[in-house]
Amino acid sequence: MYDSAFQILFLGEDLAWSKIAASLSDVAASNLKIHRAQSLNELFLILAGGEWHAAAVDVQAWNFQGLHYVDKIRSEYPAFPILARHSSSTTDIARKATNSGATRCLPVESLNAEALRGALLACISERKARSHSRKASPMQVTFNIPDSTTSSTKAQVISHALNNLLCVITANADILSEHVDASGPGVRSLSEIKRAAKSASDLMRLLK
């Protein structure tokens, strides 16, 4: 895995792009390939059409619109590694990036090929560990609601159970995606499952 060429998509402004490109110009970055997406829509189109290991987003880009982009990517790709590039001089930005869905935060002051590769390897290792854990301990959802429970509490229990169900669907879709050929007939079915889970999740948030 350490000798593999990693494909990373970058989304950010010109200055951030020039700095991250410069940090990957040495020999140590020879197995890191980075491609810049000009917009969020372009990033989604590129992700859908190829094999990518992570998305690197400048969360301070466009007056912190990058934070919103992290959230949008996470909603479409629940388990995909997202690396948040930020300045450590901005207060609380790393926490906000994590809350928006970033997997790892990388301060621009210490950004280099080794830091980027280390963050990406950590993301991949954690994802595989979660996948193995799910296979070893399948998640189950139960809907046991006592008759004596109040209406308000019942609503909370139902909401919690439905959220668990959505987590089960998304998690198992991620597991299946690792075993489905990218050009096979199952890809469309997995895409439909993920899209339905996202729509249900959005509806749940509106009903709260």
CATH of the domain at 10: 3.40.50.2300
Counted domains in the chain: 2
pLDDT, block means (10 residues), the chain with 208 residues: 72 90 66 90 89 93 94 91 92 93 91 85 78 54 51 61 70 67 66 76 66
**CA angle, 177 then 180 then 186, to 5°:** 95
Strands (E), the chain: 6-11, 32-37, 54-58, 82-86, 104-107
pLDDT on residue 205: 65
Verify that 116 and 153 share a domain, yes or no.
no
Which sign, positive or negative, has the C-alpha torsion 166, 46, 23, 14?
negative
Co-location of 89 and 156 in the same domain: no
Last residue of a domain, one of 100, 128, 156: 128
> Does 80 share its domain with 111?
yes
Residue 50 lies in a domain: yes
With respect to residue 62, please indicate whether it lies within any of the assigned structural domains.
Answer: yes
Residue 57 lies in a domain: yes
Q: Is 1 among the domain residues?
A: no
Sheet holding 82-86, edge to edge: 32-37, 6-11, 54-58, 82-86, 104-107
Identify whether residues 27 and 107 lie together within a single domain. Answer: yes
Among residues 83, 106, 128, the one where a domain terminates is 128
24 and 105 part of one domain? yes
Last residue of a domain, one of 99, 128, 157: 128
pLDDT at position 2: 45
The whole-number pLDDT of residue 22 equals: 81
Q: Would you mind telling me the total number of residues written for the chain in this entry?
A: 208
Range of the domain at 53: 6-128
Distance CA 183, CA 186 (A): 8
Q: Report how far residue 190's alpha carbon sits from residue 175's, in angstroms, rounded to the nearest whole number.
A: 10
Task: Quote the tokens at residue 202.
Answer: 């959005």
pLDDT at 208: 56
Q: Do residue 146 and residue 106 come from a single domain?
A: no
Q: CB atoms < 10 A from the CB of 202, how many?
A: 11
Cα–Cα distance, 97 to 145 (Å, whole number): 37
| Residues 70, 155 within the same domain | no
Q: Is the dihedral of CA 123, 21, 14, 115 positive or negative?
A: positive
Closest to 80 (Cα-Cα) out of 170, 208, 206? 170
pTM of the model: 0.62
Residue 133 falls within a domain, yes or no? no
Say yes or no: 96 and 177 in one domain.
no
Q: Are residues 81 and 164 in the same domain?
A: no
